[in-house]
Homo-oligomer: A and B are copies of this chain.
């Protein structure tokens, strides 16, 4: 392989303090498919998605990860590149560098293509074994090769849309004066309650190495103790009889003590599977890393509230975890959440923020990912995806109470799988009925849910029956975000904690926020992968994150 050329010889992208990465295909193509750049000499590095060889000409479908359509590279007979192609090393998956002039494309498929002079294979891909040949693969299969699947059209496009949704998230909140805060991932506080948690520990470190001592080894060591004990006994009697010295006895006693120590050592070292315990038999967590049982967080909200009660509006964007054994297309054991928290804010502010944030994300993606969305529309979503997204971004969200939502469902002519009555949770089928049929494909925010089906920290309404909670429902998916105004009244919050069977002592610091400078505040949570699924039309949440974690799987 020839040495890499200096990147500075490549066409450079937009500069930031003099630094620039080589310009990528998406930027070269710009909004006109590259028509305005025709005539430029370029070098492009990427991977061959496919190679078609004709009699006097070859076509490489070149992709550098920056967009879905890539760049058509045309190689004519008689060039250096032609010889390389004919040697058979340019196969699907190979990394190549091509150099040539951008020319207008005679075919109607693209505005411009690269007429290649020079072609270098940087890294080949053996066509016999490379798993991603041109043919289509199921998403199920691709999950088993997660280290290669971002090279496919679908997962590549998901990666780009996911990136733009993440950046839109930061831009929206930063432009609105929110601070990004990092709430803790490992937590020893009992405050969350909701959802099963993973435990984080170093107690198993010594234990995992493997088998403990075999029962045979222990028995052998113990019989050695017994034999030595007998020897000591015999010698002691001999000493009494005058036929052995005290020094001889002491030497044998020392051997006995050593044999006993050997048994203890054998039992305690090596991979024993017994944990350190307290006198009552419970695990002794003072010996764990954090000196307490510690868990992976299920939500950054309570810590977000700490920050909002100090530095005003904040948002988190980080991983959260659920140890639920649910093998569904809607659940992950590890997923990313966006959780804004606003100070001096009520439920109306919360709904305004949620609506504006969702619209901002959608508009951003419509603007920056049109080609990828078009791909999803044709191949994945199987509906008019972009029109649906534009509908969400352009309409004012309807806002109704939970009580009204229940009335809508009860009045429906439709038959539902699950019955509804005031006080029960709305199921996905009810949520979709409301947003799709009652409100004709318009997003709906439902507020003021019964207190008994919502968390203790949500602000109690004056009716004493409902809380200031809200869920944002969207067509085709149902609930996408959920939030609430938080209970800021110390006495009410304490009562709600007790009524929920929780321990006030565990919440000492959360209560302190209500004790000193309390103010109404509100926030919501968005499961980021759900948003990715919603915007792309991808159905299985395991395809919305690069390396999904679920029961039985933490590979790659």
Contacts and interface: CB of A to CB of B under 8 A. Distances in A.
Contacts of A291: 551-553
A540 interface: no
Contacts of A515: 125-126, 129
Nearest to A353: B19
A223 interface: no
Contact of A159 (B179, B189, B512, B514): B179
Contact of A126 (B510, B516, B553): B516
Interface string A207-243: 1111111100000000000000000000000000000
A450 interface: no
Contact of A188 (B172, B520, B555): B555
A95 B519 contact: yes
Contacts of A159: 179, 181, 307, 310-311
B210 A280 contact: yes
Given A198-B200, A198-B201, A275-B275, A509 B556 contact: yes
Interface string A251-271: 000000000000000000001
Interface string A325-339: 100000001101000
This chain's copy number in the assembly = 2
A252 B548 CA distance: 53
A150 B311 contact: yes
A357 B291 CA distance: 38
Q: How large, as a class, is the contact surface on chain A?
A: 35 or more
Contact of A18 (B178, B292, B356, B555): B356
Contacts of A520: 4, 122
Contacts of A177: 13, 21, 24, 26-27, 66
A166 interface: yes
Contact of A208 (B123, B283, B344, B551): B283
A349 to B, nearest CB: 5
Contacts of A203: 204
Contact of A310 (B150, B205, B285): B150
Nearest to A22: B344
Nearest to A352: B19
A143 interface: no
A150 B21 CA distance: 38
A517 interface: yes
B311 A176 contact: no
Contact of A16 (B22, B175, B198): B175
Contacts of A188: 554-555
A523 interface: no
B547 A184 contact: yes
A160 B186 contact: no
B349 A175 contact: no
Interface stretch (A77-85, A312-320, A400-408, A412-420): A312-320
A249 to B, nearest CB: 38
Nearest to A7: B349
Given A184-B554, A205-B199, A516-B126, A14 B546 contact: no
A282 B210 contact: yes
14 contacts: A16-B360, A47-B517, A66-B311, A122-B518, A147-B306, A147-B510, A159-B181, A182-B319, A185-B319, A187-B554, A275-B275, A291-B551, A291-B553, A509-B556
